[in-house]
Amino acid sequence: MSLKRMMTTSTSSWKSFGGLKNWELIILSWTSRVFLNFYNLVQIASDFTKKEKSRWSSGCKVIASCFVDNVTSKEDLSQVVAHMQSTGADILKIVTNANDITELEKMFHLLSHCQVPLIAYSLGERGLISQLLGPKFGSVLVYGSLDCNAVPGLPTLGSLRQAYGVDFMDTDTKVFGLISKPVGHSKGPILHNPTFRHVGYNGIYVPMFVDDLKEFFRVYSSPDFAGFSVGIPYKEAVVSFCDEVDPLAKSIGAVNTIIQRPCDGKLIGYNTDCEASITAIEDALKVNGAAFLPSPLAGKLFVLVGAGGAGRALAFGAKSRRAQIMIFDIDFDRAKALAAAVSGEALPFENLASFQPEKGAILANATPIGMHPNKDRIPVSEATLKDYLVVFDAVYTPRKTTLLKDAEAAGAITVSGVEMFLRQAIGQFHLFTGSKAPEEFMREIVMAKF
């Protein structure tokens, strides 16, 4: 353990999300990598405070800050807090590394039970929700980087206020989040959070980088965590962690939305991807004048690339519209299993480059191919795009993928994954809140921000 730094700084207008202002700050900061000699550093900070305090103005506040990267229990953290209190600081600050999102529950517990003003959060992508949810659990301050000088792993002040609305958070705020790996691409927070505020619902939606589903659901079982979206690669695997699964989601074998039922805490799984994706394709055909009795997809060849969670939703949606389904997936066994479930056909993924569809077919990409940062790839041969009537891409980052650009140039009707994202989010909002979603408001956000 070594003394990282001791420094003083002052400001005449310190603005915090906790409502504190007009402070002069004295910051005592050190790094702790082992507990050996920890007490010596606490004593140094304590002696420094006692010696110098008489020289500071009456409005001065002292923050004792410690970075610790080897705390393994709530008891360890409580011990650190207890000894930091002896410095005489007005506010304590503890920062840790996060190797798993489940470790953050210790920080939330510490914040909720600490009897002194405390700032506590973890670093890294897995630690992000500790920085976003601090105000809910009692953190005195929330840290953000300047929008013009973003710091990796730290949310910007603009996103804290606009996307996450941390100014409006309190202990009753319900937490919703996207369970995914990776999670940084998600646009969910910039859609769900403003919508919550628009209708006056006390909720926040955050990205959750999850490595272990079993541990995640074991740790985050309190009513505070009211619901989840589910993304790559967990839409199928998460089914086994639900206590109940809606019949549509059960038939699909994939869940993209989970609600913790308030009356008994059980996890209920749903799938809003299916209707979102299929109606987006249908509506694109209707707008372009195609016949749609009973569905514009009836009898058409539906070429699906990807047999994962999103692919399963598309396949079952296409089956419900009586389309002829052809499936390609890098895992041929998975493609065959899905094809059998929807009375379709599967072909090896390597055949996709040379596959020649019939004229007027529908192409749906349900793989990450074309997603940022690998934006230049497309899943099929460019030469075959002229034979597709409609091309749908579940990827929505970027909004107009290379596949959609090439398909548009070839004369196909294109449907962006943004449309699917919007429609599934509308369904999720209803499940999250129990209220009808403000669809026009949500569409305006998507059109402006995505």
Q: Rounded to whole angstroms, how far apart are CA atoms 147 and 151?
A: 9
Q: What is the separation of C-alpha 47 from the centre of its chain, rounded to a whole number of angstroms? A: 44
Active site residue 235: yes
CB 261 within 8 A of CB 292: no
Q: At what angle do helices 332-341 and 309-320 cross, to 10 degrees?
A: 30
Question: 239: which 2 tokens?
Answer: 């089914």
Given 174, 235, 300, 336, the catalytic residue: 235
Separation CA 185–CA 11 (nearest Å):
36
Rg of the chain taking only CA atoms, in angstroms: 26
CA distance 327 to 307: 7
Q: Which of 328, 247, 234, 315 is nearest to 281 (CA)?
A: 315
- Provide the 3-class DSSP secondary structure of residue 309: helix
Considering only CA atoms, which of 357, 329, 353 is closest in space to residue 341? 329
Residue 231, both tokens = 């993304």
Retrieve residue 85's tokens. 């209190």
Is residue 229 within 8 Å of residue 188, measured between CB atoms?
yes
Strands (E), 210-256: 225-230, 244-245
Cis peptide before 117 (omega within 30 of 0): no
Q: Cβ contacts of residue 99 below 8 Å, gap of 6+?
A: 126
Here the tokens at position 152 are 């990796």
| Positions marked active-site | 235
